[in-house]
Every structure is written in structure tokens, then in C-alpha cells.
Amino acid sequence: MVDTPGETIRAFVALDLDSTSLRRVARVADRLRLGSGAPSASWVAPSAMHITLKFMGELATAAVTPLADALRPLVEGRTAPNACSFCLAAFPNVAEAHVIIAELQDSGGELAKLAGRVGAIARALGIQGDERTFKPHVTLARLKRSYDARRWLRVELAKGAGECRAASLTLFRSELGSGGARHLPLARFVFS
């Protein structure tokens, strides 16, 4: 990437799921998509599923390398956070769903701690980013309009799906387009 003074990109830091976890979450998304009562939605492709730790917003291209360098020690020589089970949920809530998610049960708080460290690194580099409270999840679908999903998001659809485990941490560039956002990895660090 060539740095142009003043140039910015939309960027975020996320955990990539390992291949087994990705298959599990994608299967649950397929059950939902094909299930009775499924509303009109834009479904996230399995290749774009991830756990966002921190949305950076408009990031100066000059900050990409320093940010990547500062993120590296969070991963190198370390094992992935503990695997988390997940349940189906929605933003802002199930009764007025706009976004359908697989919410991760971060009982040990490892994902929240990692998200906090990423946020601290961003602040130390002068990057503001999004200050929303971290809620570990994988986005499955964005609904075309608000929907009462209480009957549709049945617990048994995710029951027995297993756990999710991260394989790597990635700094992504997000490009918005007519077909939705496209995520391009700028730096990826694999857990040992």
C-alpha cells in the first residue's frame, strides 16, 4: 500500500474463525436462511464471517503499518482465545431485528480482554475508532427492514453446533459497494 498524505481507508481489526468454526457458523446461517419465516435479508458469505474486535473508522493510510506492528505482539507466540459456544441473537434486539448474529458466550472474558487491548493500542496511536461496547459475535445477515425474529430465531437451530475458535487476528480494509462491504486483509497474524 502506497501512503498518500491525508488519504484514509475504512478499517477494522477482527478475529478470523478457524475452518471448523466457520463451517459450523455457516451451517447455522443456512438453516436460518432456509427456515420457515425467514425475512428478506442480505446474507454474509462464509468467507466474510469474522469477529470484529475494533472498528477503526477512517484510518489514515500512514497509520496502517504502525498499527499492524503494534498488533503483532498480541498474537505471535500466543495461543488463540478459548473456544466459545454461541447462540442466535439480533441487533438491536430480537423483537426489532436489523442484524442477525451468532453471539459468542465469552464466559472467561478472553475476547473482551483482547478487544480492550486492541482498543488501547488504537488510542495510543491516536486512532479514535468506534467506542461501542464490545459484544463478541459473528454477523450472519442484515435484514432489509426491522423484523420481529422471536419465532424465527429458535434456540434449536444453533443447538449442538459446537464452539467457535479463532485462528488469526487481521487488520482489514473495508470497501463499501453496491453488493455490500468487501473486506481486504492488510495484515494477518496467526495464533500458535
Which sequence spans correspond to the domains of the chain?
8-190
More confident residue, 179 or 133: 133
As a whole number of angstroms, the distance between CA 153 and CA 188 comes to: 33
67 with 9: CB under 8 angstroms? no
Phi, psi of 103 (to 5 degrees): -85, 125
pLDDT at position 181 is 80
Burial letters 71-102, b for 16+ CB under 10 A, else e: beebbeeeebbebbbbbbbbbeebeebbbbbb
pLDDT at position 5 is 59
| Mean pLDDT confidence for 61-84 | 96
pTM of the model: 0.92
Confidence of residue 177 (pLDDT cuts 50, 70, 90): confident
More confident residue, 166 or 154: 166
As a whole number of angstroms, the distance between CA 156 and CA 32 comes to: 11
3-state secondary structure of 153: coil
| Mean pLDDT confidence for 97-105 | 96
Nearest residue to 38 (alpha-carbon basis) of 175, 140, 121: 140
pLDDT at position 157 is 77
| Mean pLDDT confidence for 37-41 | 91
CATH of domain 8-190: 3.90.1140.10
DSSP tag of 96 = G
pLDDT at position 4 is 54
Rg (CA), the chain: 17
Residue in the structure block whose three cell numbers are 461496547: 133
171 with 64: CB under 8 angstroms? yes
Residue 35, all three cell numbers:
427456515
Confidence of residue 24 (pLDDT cuts 50, 70, 90): very high
Q: pLDDT over 70 for what percent of the chain?
A: 97
CA dihedral 173, 8, 119, 24 (to 10 degrees): -10
| Mean pLDDT confidence for 62-71 | 97
